[in-house]
Amino acid sequence: MSSFDIVVHVRDTGGEPHAARAAFALANRLQAYTYGLYVAPLGAVAFSTPETVVFQVNEADRLYNEAIGKRDWWSALLRTNQCGGEWLVAQGEPVEALCHAARWCDLVVAERPTLQADAPTGWGTVSRTVFGAGTPVVVVPEAAKSMTLGERVLVAWNHSREAMRAIHGAVPVLMRAAQIVVLDGAPQQDRLGARHVPQLDLRAWLARRGVKAEFRNFTPKNDFGAAILAAAHETQSDLIVMGAWGHSRIAELVLGGATRHLFQHSDLPLFAAH
């Protein structure tokens, strides 16, 4: 019986979608129950004529019913990948549907489409899901090739709340990993307004959970995102565990930041939490 639930955002109902492949790799590692969630579009009716509204509603219903009919396709994928799970269909805005399903799931898996180099990062479906889900999100770049997720893990640790939320969510993965490297960066500036705040000994915290990790000091002078990705490649990691948008999202959008760089340029899946 599974005690871990994954919901994967299915954007295309044909073949084996990239995000689904990643979700199945994790599901097999974690013995997880895997929901496939497809969100059928719901046409905007603002400023439409009554005749147009009727057409849009009928078209939306047709697309929804077509999606419901893909249940057998998803069931076949589950059987092929030796996973248990269900097919879910919602209608409307994908972020709202994903965040709703995340209420009873432990993890969301979503594909990150390849963007133009100068495209904005932070307002797309995946980024907003990371903010709103309340559970970690595995962001699967379109360019990701390896699907041995969780075998070799890199943890980006900057002592922030967001990084700790990601590590908390990743514990089931970390317990089964063959290699874990923790990049131990400088703590963020204390914003609690308190003195002598206790500091977490992450090495001991992980050890109490049966997780052995190699810790490396991480002090790049600039471009933290690029340095994290370079370290992941150097250690042959297949997954990066990270906190997302530890600073203001507006500041990162304007000034850049590790989250923005990794969301734009990573060719490895990101286990992210905010």
Say what the pLDDT of residue 196 is: 80
pLDDT at 211 over 90: yes
26 and 95 belong to one structural domain: yes
| pTM, rounded to two decimals | 0.89
Average of pLDDT values for 212-221? 94
Residue 89, Cα to own-chain centre: how many angstroms?
A: 20
pLDDT attached to residue 74: 98
The reply to whether 118 and 169 lie within a common domain is no
**Confidence (pLDDT) at 191:** 59
Residues 115 and 166 in one domain: no
Residue finishing a domain among 120, 141, 162 = 141
Residue 113 has a pLDDT of 81
Give the whole-angstrom CA distance, residue 59 versus residue 246.
41
Tell whether 156 and 256 lie within a shared domain.
Answer: yes
Tell me which of 77, 110, 141 is where a domain ends: 141
172 and 242 share a domain?
Answer: yes
Q: Whole domain around residue 23: which residue ranges?
A: 5-141
125 plus 24 within the same structural domain: yes
The answer on 111 and 58 residing in a single domain is yes
Report the alpha-carbon distance of residue 99 to residue 141 in Å, rounded. 20
Q: Is 146 a domain residue?
A: no
Indicate whether 167 and 105 sit together in one domain.
no
Pairing mode of beta strands 214-217, 239-243:
unpaired
Mean pLDDT, residues 190-202 taken together: 78
48 token code pair: 């439409």
CATH code (residue 97)? 3.40.50.620
What is the pLDDT of the chain when averaged over all its residues? 88
**Does residue 253 register a pLDDT over 50?**
no
- Does one domain contain both 124 and 174? no
9 and 133 belong to one structural domain = yes
Last residue of a domain, one of 111, 141, 171: 141
What tokens were used for 22? 């990643």
Mean pLDDT, to the nearest integer, of 212-236?
94
Burial of 140 (0-12, 13-18, 19+ CB in 10 A): buried
Instruction: Assess whether 234 and 206 both reside in one domain.
Output: yes
How many domains are there within the chain?
Answer: 2
